[in-house]
């Protein structure tokens, strides 16, 4: 099993400390599942998966709190990069009960209020290849210093982070092309968010000066055997805002962001295009058991691309557009989510539909889960992307899958 050593050892140190405490708060989950495919774009089928998680919260001293959230996954078949097992820490945090609640370590920082599509959520990397029924368990967390200060009628978040990982995304294998593993070079990213929360009205504004979590592709070399493609970080500056307004059983939400990229540092690097994106959502309760959410969204690219300098760069630029959703200058679409509680609070059923223009690509996803007891839960689901191969979601068609999983939590 390949461990992400630094983050895991830090989290284990917190766990070891918690064992010396009188009353640590432990939690965990183990699960076994069968998946019809994976999320690697390689059309593997018939995969058995095991995953587990362990969390602990420990108040070591009246003013000192520690938290660790560990995870591990193992598969019956190796992934595209040859690994059959992964483990790491989603969070490993030391926090102090002082003004601004300073916290040092790894934390999941999730921004945005809208559903599925969150243009302001650009701080925490995600493992989109991981086989898990819950999107939240794909989050990897980010190392840094985190502050949360009371300021006037709202709260001010300050984050100084060290982004050590990109989003873990699937790549299509191409003959003669070798994709090299890559990590962002160490450089502090900063983020600020001011949030107001009131009766029926919440909102925030945010600024990020960091890196784009989608890697930028770059030609590292070429010879008679083919082309070697590396991954590098592109500097990102983002200004965002979101708002939520509650009106009885209805909630209106909106979110928008403006993003700009630094110029490419090399002529052999894929070009990135700045963008503006926005989302408008209406969610309402339909009776006592159903919730419905409808969204409209858009994304508009700015600037023009320069002609690629070499033939290899033509393919690299096309791959970059698919990877970071920078294909069409203007994009718009809608989402529909329907959720129902079953048997009181013991089960739930959820349907998600995403449709994107102008290429008519999208996603269909169904999730079901039911509690067999206080600690045992059965989950099942299926998902399928559709659309042409040169579209953002249509490119993921071979990742269509179904699964069933049983989990035990404590």
CB 255 within 8 A of CB 278: yes
Percent of the chain topping pLDDT 70: 94
Mean pLDDT of the chain: 91
Instruction: Compute φ and ψ for 118, nearest 5 degrees.
Output: -130, 90
Mean pLDDT of 222-234: 87
Say what the pLDDT of residue 156 is. Answer: 98
Residue 8 confidence class, pLDDT cut points 50, 70, 90: low
CB 141 within 8 A of CB 162: no
3-state secondary structure of 304: coil
Residue 164 confidence class, pLDDT cut points 50, 70, 90: confident
Mean pLDDT of 36-41: 90
Q: How far apart are CA 2 and CA 117, in angstroms?
A: 31
Say what the pLDDT of residue 83 is. Answer: 84
Residue 294 makes CB contacts below 8 A (sequence gap 6+) with 281, 282, 283, 334, 335, 336
pLDDT per position as a tens digit, 327-361: 999 999 999 999 999 988 899 999 999 999 999 99
pLDDT per position as a tens digit, 278-322: 999 999 999 899 999 999 999 999 988 888 877 778 888 999 999
Q: How far apart are CA 72 and CA 85, in angstroms?
A: 7
Percent of the chain topping pLDDT 90: 72
CB atoms within 10 A of CB 6: 14
Residue 215 confidence class, pLDDT cut points 50, 70, 90: very high
Is it the case that residue 174 has pLDDT exceeding 50? yes
In a 10 Å sphere around its CB, with 0-12 CB exposed, 13-18 middle and 19+ buried, how is residue 154 labelled? Answer: middle
Is the pTM higher than 0.75? The answer reads yes
Residue 7 confidence class, pLDDT cut points 50, 70, 90: low
Say what the pLDDT of residue 2 is. Answer: 43
**CA nearest 142: which of 119, 115, 171, 109?**
109
Q: How far apart are CA 54 and CA 11, in angstroms?
A: 10
Residue 198 confidence class, pLDDT cut points 50, 70, 90: confident
DSSP class of residue 264 equals: P
pLDDT per position as a tens digit, 100-122: 999 999 999 999 999 889 999 99
2-3 and 85-96 strand pairing: parallel
pLDDT per position as a tens digit, 17-33: 544 455 799 999 999 99
Say what the pLDDT of residue 9 is. Answer: 47
Say what the pLDDT of residue 3 is. Answer: 44
């Amino acid at each position: 099993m390949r461990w992400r050593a630094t983050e895991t050892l830090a989290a284990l140190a917190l766990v070891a400390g918690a064992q010396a405490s009188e009353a640590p708060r432990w939690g965990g989950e183990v699960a076994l599942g069968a998946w019809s495919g994976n999320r690697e774009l390689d059309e593997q089928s018939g995969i058995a998966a095991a995953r587990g998680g362990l969390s602990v919260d420990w108040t070591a001293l009246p003013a000192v709190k520690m938290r660790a959230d560990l995870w591990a996954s193992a598969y019956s078949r190796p992934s595209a990069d040859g690994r059959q097992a992964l483990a790491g820490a989603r969070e490993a945090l030391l926090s102090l009960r002082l003004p601004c609640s300073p916290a040092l370590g790894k934390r999941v920082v999730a921004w945005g209020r809208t559903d599925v599509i969150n243009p302001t959520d650009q701080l925490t990397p995600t493992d989109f290849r991981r086989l898990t029924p819950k999107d939240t368990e794909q989050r990897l967390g980010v190392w840094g210093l985190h502050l949360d200060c009371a300021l006037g009628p709202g709260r001010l978040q300050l984050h100084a982070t060290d982004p050590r990982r990109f989003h873990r995304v699937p790549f299509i294998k191409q003959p003669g092309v070798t994709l090299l593993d890559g990590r962002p070079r160490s450089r502090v990213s900063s983020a600020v968010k001011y949030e107001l929360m009131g009766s029926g009205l919440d909102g925030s504004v945010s600024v990020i000066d960091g890196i784009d979590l989608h890697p930028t592709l770059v030609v590292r070399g070429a010879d008679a055997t083919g082309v070697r493609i590396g991954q590098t970080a592109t500097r990102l500056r983002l200004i965002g805002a979101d708002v939520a307004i509650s009106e009885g059983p209805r909630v209106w939400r909106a979110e928008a962001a403006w993003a700009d990229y630094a110029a490419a540092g090399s002529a052999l690097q894929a070009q990135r295009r700045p963008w503006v994106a926005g989302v408008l959502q209406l969610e309402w309760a339909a009776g006592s058991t159903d919730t419905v959410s409808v969204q409209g969204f858009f994304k508009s690219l700015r600037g023009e691309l320069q002609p690629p300098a070499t033939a290899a760069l033509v393919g690299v630029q096309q791959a970059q557009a698919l990877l970071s959703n920078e294909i069409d200058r203007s994009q718009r679409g809608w989402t529909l989510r329907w959720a129902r509680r079953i048997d009181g609070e013991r089960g739930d059923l959820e349907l998600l539909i995403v449709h994107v223009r102008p290429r008519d690509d999208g996603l269909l996803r169904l999730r079901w889960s039911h509690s067999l007891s206080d600690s045992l839960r059965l989950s099942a689901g299926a998902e399928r992307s559709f659309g042409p191969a040169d579209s953002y979601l249509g490119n993921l068609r071979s990742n269509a899958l179904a699964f069933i999983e049983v989990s035990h939590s404590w």
